[in-house]
Amino acid sequence: MTSSNNKLFGLTGSDKQKLIDRIRNRNRKGDGTETPSKHKFSSKMEEIPEEYYKLEFLPGVKQLQIQMTAAEKFGIENPFFRVHESVAGNETRIGDKNYINYSSYNYLGLCGHPKISKSAKDAIDRYGTSASASRPVSGERPIHRDLERRLAEIHKTEDCIAFVSGHATNVTTIGCLFGKDDLILHDALAHNSIIQGAVLSGAKRLSFPHNDYAALDKILAENRTKFKRVLIVIEGMYSMDGDIPNLPEFIELKRKYKVFLMVDEAHSLGVLGERGFGIKEHFAVNSDAVDITMGTLSKTLSSCGGYIAGKRILIENLKFNAPGFVYSVGMAPPSAAAALAALELLVKEPERIRRLQKLGGTFHQMATAAGLNTGYCQGFAIIPIITGSSILSVKLSNVLLEKGINVQPIIYPAVEERAARLRFFLCANHTEEQIAYTIEILAKELHKLKKTSLFTI
C-alpha cells in the first residue's frame, strides 16, 4: 500500500489496526462502538477543542472514515450509490449492462407504466412541476384531494392527508400528536422514521421484542397508568425481515389498555391482502380498529411521499398542526398524479398482486430448500438472506453483480453485525427463471466465500 493510501481519509495506522480488531471481534465483544469521552466544559473560549466546532470531527464523519477505510483494507468495492440508467423493476441497467434487479421496491412493476407516466406528464402541463407553496397557504391543488380521497377509500377511513416524504410522515405525525406525558411503544425492529418521531415528541419511548404481543402485554400492564396517552406502533410488513405482525392480537391490546394503535403500511400496501389493500385486508379486520394508518407513495404507488389515513378529526388536526405539512411545500402535482394513477391500476389489475404473492412464496421456498438462512421471512415480497457478517454481505453482493444480479447488502449499523444480510425485493415482473438462476448462483457463491478468509488484506 502506498504512503498516500496509508493516510487514507486521515486515519492513522493505529486507527486502522483498531478497526481490524473491532471488526474481527465484534460478534464476541459487542457492536464495536466507542465509549463517549468525558469532557469538562470550560468557560474559557481558547480551551474549546477543535472537535466541537470543526466539521471533520463530527461523530458521523469519523464513523464513515472507519467504514471506508475498512473497505479499502479488505479490498471491497463500495456497493452503494451505483447509478441506474433505466426504470428499475425486475431488471435494471447499470453502466452499459443489464441486471436482474432485487433492490427496488417497485412491487407491482408499476413504475414506468405508460398510464402512470402520462398522468404525471398531464399534471405537469396543467400545474407545473411544483406546488410552489405549502398547501395551507396557496399550494393546494385538486389532484392532492383526489389522491387523498382515493387512499381513504382503499383504507376504508374517513379521510387522508398526503405528505411530501414517507420518512417525514412518521416523524412529523408522531412528533405532533404525542408529548412529554405520553408513552410510545414500538417494535424492536421499527423503522428509523418511527423512532425519530418518538424522539421528536419528547414522549417516553420503549421497545418490545419483535412481533411479541405477549411481551407488549406485560409492558402495558406495568406502565399504562403511568402516562396520559400511549401509542403502539407496528408495521404492516417489516422491511428488513419480510415478516408481518399478528394484527388482531395488537388490536386486542389496544382495546384492553385503552391506547392508540398506529400501523405503518409502507411495505404492505400492494403486497398483502386479496386485493393488495394491506395488512388490515389480510387479516379481515375493521379499519376503525386501527387509529392511525400510515403509508408511502414510493413503493407500490410508484411516486414519492407518504400519507396518514384515519378519522376526519385526526386528519384535520394534522393539516393545521403537523409541522411537516404546514411548513413544507405541498406535494409536487406530478407526484400526486402518478400515485393516483398507480392506485387505480392496483384496483383494476389484481392479478399483479396474486403474481407477486406467488413469486414471493417461490423465492422463499427455493431459498430455504437451498439451505439459505431467511430469518423471520414469511415469503411475501421481501426475502432476507442472513450471512451474519457485514464484510461477507458486501463481498457476496459484489460477486453477484459480476454474475448479473443486483442486490444490496444490509450491514452494521443498519442491522446488528450478526444479522448482516442481502435483502431481496420481489417484483411482479420477475420470472421463475430469474429466481431459479438467482438462487443457484447465490447458494454457490455464498458457499465459496464462506470457505475463504474474509479478512485478507
How far apart CA 104 and CA 92 sit, in angstroms, is 9
Q: What ranges in 103-223 are assigned the alpha helix state H?
A: 114-127, 142-155, 166-177, 192-201, 213-223
Query: Which pLDDT value is given to residue 14?
Result: 57
Select the CATH number that applies to the domain covering 91-101+350-450 from these four: 3.40.50.2000, 3.30.420.40, 3.50.50.60, 3.90.1150.10. Answer: 3.90.1150.10
Give the pTM.
0.88
Residue 422, beta-bridge partner list? 385, 409
Task: Report the helix count and the strand count for the chain, using DSSP H and E.
Answer: 16, 13
The DSSP secondary structure of 251-301, one letter per residue, reads HHHHHHHT-EEEEE-TTTTTTSSTTS--HHHHHT--GGG-SEEEEESSSTT
Cell of 169: 410522515
Nearest alpha-carbon partner for 287 in 276, 277, 296, 297: 277
Residues 71-96: b if buried by 16+ CB within 10 A, e if exposed: ebbbebeebeeeeeeebbbbbbbbee
pLDDT given at position 76: 74
Element (H, E) at 186: strand 183-187
Q: Which amino acid is at 344?
A: E
For 234, phi then psi, to 5°, come to: -130, 170
Q: In what order do the strands lie in the sheet with 421-425?
A: 382-386, 421-425, 408-410
For the chain, give every domain's residue range: 91-101+350-450, 114-348
CATH: 3.40.50.410, 3.70.10.10, 3.40.718.10, 3.40.640.10. Which one for 114-348?
A: 3.40.640.10
Q: Which alpha helices (DSSP H) does 302-420 contain, by range?
A: 312-321, 323-326, 333-348, 351-369, 390-402
Burial level of 375, CB count in 10 A (0-12/13-18/19+)?
middle
User: Do 91-101+350-450 and 114-348 have matching folds?
Assistant: no
Contact 366, 290 (CB under 8 A): no
Q: What is the mean pLDDT of each run of 10 residues along the chain (457 residues)?
A: 39 53 50 51 81 87 79 76 91 95 96 97 97 94 98 98 98 98 97 97 98 98 98 97 97 98 98 98 96 98 97 98 97 98 98 98 98 96 96 94 97 90 97 98 95 61
Report pLDDT for 9.
Answer: 40
